[in-house]
Structures are given as C-alpha cells and as structure tokens.
C-alpha cells in the first residue's frame, strides 16, 4: 500500500509565547478530554482513505503535545491503528516543553508508541528565555534531555532560536555549545521571525523592540552550521541538523511532495495534489466533530487544488530546502516537463548569482543560496506568473 504520513495538531499551551503565530491557545485545558474525542472521531471519518494506505510516520505538533495526558496520545495512535496499518518501524514524533514532562509521563508516551521527542529549548540564556515568554529554565532543558534518555526514546532533539533583538554572537555561541554538550540526536535552529499580529509584532511596530539586523542573523546561521557540523551533526535541511540515522522522516515528507493527512484543529493536509485546512479554533473543531457521524470533510474549513504553476513552484522550493537539493528527473516524473523548460531562465540567473549549483542530476542551493532561499522562490514564481502560456494546463 502507498505510504501516508499523519500530522496531529494539539493546540494547547500553558502560555502562548509572544512571537508565536501558530494555532495555539492557553487557558483551554478544560477542552482537552473532548478534544481527544474529536480527534478519534475525525480519524474514524477518514477510515476509507486510511484503510487503503499504510502509515509510515506520525507527527504530533502544536501547541504543546507533551502537555496533554499520555493516554490521549495513546488513544490517537490506537484510533489510527484501528483503521490503518502502521508500519512496524514507523516514526512517531512529539513536541514537548522542557520541565513539563516527568519520567512517568515520558515512559507512558514511549509505551504508547512515541519514538521521537523534541524539546522547544530555544535558548540556554535565562534573559533570552524571559524575552521569548518561555516558562522553563536552562537547567530544565538539561534535566528533560536526561529524562528522555532514561525513558529510552529512539531520538531526542532540541529546537533553538537565534536572531533575537540585541542578541550577540557570543550569546548564540554559548547556547549552541551547551546544546551540543547534551549530545541530542537532532538540533533545529530557526531565526526569530516577527509575525504580524503577534504581541512581538505589535511591540516592533510601536518601536518598543528593534529586530536584529539581517547580516548579524546570517552570521549566526553560518556560525551554527560550522559549529554543528564540526560536532558531527549533518546539515540536511535549511534549519535542521542530525546525527547519522536521526533525520526527521516525518518532516522529509513535507519537503519531498509526499502525502500527509492533517488531523486536529487548524491542521493542514495534502492528499493527491489537494491541500486542505481544518477549522482553527478547538471549540469549533470539537463542535464540528460531535455534531453527528463525521465524514472525511467534517472538520475541513476549505480545500483547494493549487494551479500547475503554484504546484511546480511549491515542489521546487520545498525540495530546495534539503541541503542535497533534488534530481531534475524527479521533477519531470512529477509534472511531465523538463525543469529547464519550465524554470530555465530563473535557474540560470540564480546559478549565475551564485545561489544555485546545477548539474545534470542535481539542483541545490549553494552555501550563499541557503541564506536567500526565499529570494530564489520569489524568482521561480515570478517567472511562471509572467509566462503562464508556457506551462501545460
């Protein structure tokens, strides 16, 4: 059977951080039990599709999945197993906050089938954690990694953030060094993004906070890549480094045009070329799933099939997130056209500018191109928008 990945969105947080624009909510713990019921109902609604596929990966994101009862995570996995075949070696990943997962809770998650846990550490600097509205301490990160190891997860990861307002390179280096000392299997490092409509976005708009200049953030990115690779981590995606054998199989599905079923409030899915998004607020999501016998569309807010131009651009820009890039033959198998016929001019322009390295069997970003991935994406889409007749319908 064709493989399928499943993303399960858990929208609950103890505190919603000021920089976060994810579909996450604080103060709704009273909805957790009924939310678990709704997740099980939505999975049952997709039973006809799930019966025809085998599940290769499951990813619990949010929000903070690590803060719901392990029994709720187990219930979701049991609901999936009841209607689909889950690979014996399936990767089941879950995000958690440092300091909020006891050893008994971690063991229960492991027993439920979770194989991979990633902690949102963000920083080892107490002042930076306060700025980010994080409720844990640097010491809690250390303790959480130790507990996850004791609970015998197959892979343990840390997520970090750089490019904070006023952050010095030395502070970022300190966080990196302390993270490496813990020897996690996987490290993600993301530049702080100021999103419109968030509390941080409002502070920046009012002049209360000045974002770090892009050149310094770029220097931090290059420094992270150098330090992590020197420590034995493979840089396999724009923002992700892993020890051998510990790359995120679930996230690779997103970057490689794979199908994934999105379950939960605000979850996004991608099935056979169609994208969809679920109802966002958990209260409305629960109501939709408990209003009667759910079908596959009970929680879907809207869906669409991207235009050929957008599908091509999405395919290339996502594939370029991988450090190894992609084989042009894979693009031709997917769309029936040569990538050079479709994207020839912008590919040549980006190669001439030192952003892309192009050979007969590989297109990838150069080290300089990694810093300008968004600019490459803009040039690709702009070319197709200006030359619509050259793209097959």
Q: Is residue 286 part of a domain?
A: no
Q: Is residue 181 part of a domain?
A: yes
**pLDDT value for 387:** 80
How far, in Å, CA of 291 to CA of 34, rounded?
A: 13
User: Within this chain, do residues 312 and 197 fall inside the same structural domain, yes or no?
Assistant: no
User: Within this chain, do residues 316 and 238 fall inside the same structural domain, yes or no?
Assistant: no
Residue at which a domain ends, from 211, 236, 254: 254
Q: Is residue 292 part of a domain?
A: no
Q: Is residue 151 part of a domain?
A: yes
Q: What is the DSSP letter of 390?
A: G
Which 3 state secondary structure label does DSSP give 372? coil
Residue at which a domain ends, from 254, 271, 296: 254
pLDDT digits (tens, 9 = 90+) for 174-223: 999 999 999 999 999 999 999 999 999 999 999 999 999 999 999 999 99
**pLDDT value for 393:** 47
User: Within this chain, do residues 211 and 314 fall inside the same structural domain, yes or no?
Assistant: no
**pLDDT value for 297:** 81
User: Within this chain, do residues 79 and 160 fall inside the same structural domain, yes or no?
Assistant: yes
- Bridge partner residues of 363 (DSSP): 326, 358
How far, in Å, CA of 217 to CA of 211, rounded?
A: 10
pLDDT digits (tens, 9 = 90+) for 46-72: 999 999 999 999 999 999 999 999 999
What percentage of residues in the chain have a pLDDT greater than 70? 98
User: Within this chain, do residues 36 and 135 fall inside the same structural domain, yes or no?
Assistant: yes
Identify whether the C-beta of residue 265 lies closer than 8 Å to the C-beta of residue 8: no
How far, in Å, CA of 305 to CA of 323, rounded?
A: 28
Q: Is residue 196 part of a domain?
A: yes
User: Within this chain, do residues 54 and 127 fall inside the same structural domain, yes or no?
Assistant: yes
In the chain, how many domains are there? 2
Q: Residue 349 belongs to what domain range?
A: 308-390
How far, in Å, CA of 83 to CA of 263, rounded?
A: 14
Identify whether the C-beta of residue 153 lies closer than 8 Å to the C-beta of residue 110: yes
How far, in Å, CA of 289 to CA of 302, rounded?
A: 16
210 phi-psi bin (left φ>0, alpha ψ -120 to 50, beta other): beta
**Residue written as token pair 């020839």:** 344
Q: Is residue 367 part of a domain?
A: yes
User: Within this chain, do residues 231 and 317 fall inside the same structural domain, yes or no?
Assistant: no
Q: Is residue 298 part of a domain?
A: no
pLDDT digits (tens, 9 = 90+) for 106-148: 999 999 999 999 999 999 999 999 999 999 999 999 999 999 9
CATH number for the domain harbouring residue 383: 1.10.10.920
User: Within this chain, do residues 379 and 248 fall inside the same structural domain, yes or no?
Assistant: no
User: Within this chain, do residues 54 and 142 fall inside the same structural domain, yes or no?
Assistant: yes
Q: Is residue 262 part of a domain?
A: no
Residue 310 has φ and ψ, to the nearest 5°, of -70, -40
Q: Is the pLDDT of residue 350 over 80?
A: yes
User: Within this chain, do residues 350 and 240 fall inside the same structural domain, yes or no?
Assistant: no
Residue 182 has φ and ψ, to the nearest 5°, of -80, -10
User: Within this chain, do residues 312 and 193 fall inside the same structural domain, yes or no?
Assistant: no
User: Within this chain, do residues 230 and 124 fall inside the same structural domain, yes or no?
Assistant: yes
CATH number for the domain harbouring residue 109: 3.20.20.70
Residue at which a domain ends, from 254, 270, 285: 254
């Amino acid at each position: 059977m064709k493989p399928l990945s499943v993303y399960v969105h858990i929208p609950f947080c103890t505190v919603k951080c000021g920089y976060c624009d994810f579909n996450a909510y604080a103060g709704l713990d009273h909805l957790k039990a009924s939310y678990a019921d709704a997740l099980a109902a939505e999975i049952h609604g997709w039973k006809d599709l799930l019966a025809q596929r085998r599940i290769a990966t499951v990813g619990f994101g949010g929000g903070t999945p690590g803060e719901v009862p392990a029994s709720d995570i187990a219930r979701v996995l049991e609901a999936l197993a009841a209607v689909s075949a889950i690979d014996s070696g399936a990767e089941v990943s879950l995000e958690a906050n440092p300091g909020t997962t006891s050893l008994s809770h971690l063991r229960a998650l492991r027993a439920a089938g979770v194989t991979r846990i990633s902690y949102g550490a963000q920083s080892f600097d107490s002042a930076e954690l306060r700025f980010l509205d994080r409720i844990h301490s640097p010491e809690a990160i250390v303790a959480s990694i130790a507990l996850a190891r004791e609970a015998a997860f197959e892979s343990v990861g840390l997520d970090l953030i750089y490019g904070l307002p006023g952050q010095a390179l030395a502070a970022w280096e300190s966080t990196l060094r302390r993270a490496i000392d813990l020897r996690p299997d996987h490290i993600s490092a993301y530049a702080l993004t100021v999103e419109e409509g968030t509390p941080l976005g409002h502070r920046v708009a009012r002049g209360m906070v000045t974002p770090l200049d892009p050149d310094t953030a770029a220097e931090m990115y290059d420094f992270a890549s150098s330090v992590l690779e020197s420590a034995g981590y493979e840089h396999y995606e724009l923002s992700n480094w892993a020890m051998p054998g510990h790359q995120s199989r679930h996230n690779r599905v997103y970057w490689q045009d794979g199908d994934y079923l999105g379950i939960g409030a605000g979850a996004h899915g991608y099935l056979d070329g169609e994208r969809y998004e679920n109802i966002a607020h958990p209260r409305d999501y629960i109501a939709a799933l408990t209003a009667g016998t759910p079908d596959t569309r009970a929680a879907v807010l809207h869906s669409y099939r991207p235009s050929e131009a957008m599908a091509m651009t999405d395919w290339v820009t996502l594939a370029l997130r991988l450090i190894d890039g992609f084989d042009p033959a894979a693009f031709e198998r997917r769309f029936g056209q040569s990538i050079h016929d479709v994207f020839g001019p912008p590919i040549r322009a980006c190669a001439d500018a030192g952003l892309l390295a192009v050979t007969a069997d590989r297109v990838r970003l150069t080290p300089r191109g990694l810093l300008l991935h968004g600019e490459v994406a803009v040039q690709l889409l702009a070319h197709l928008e200006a030359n619509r007749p050259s793209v097959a319908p």
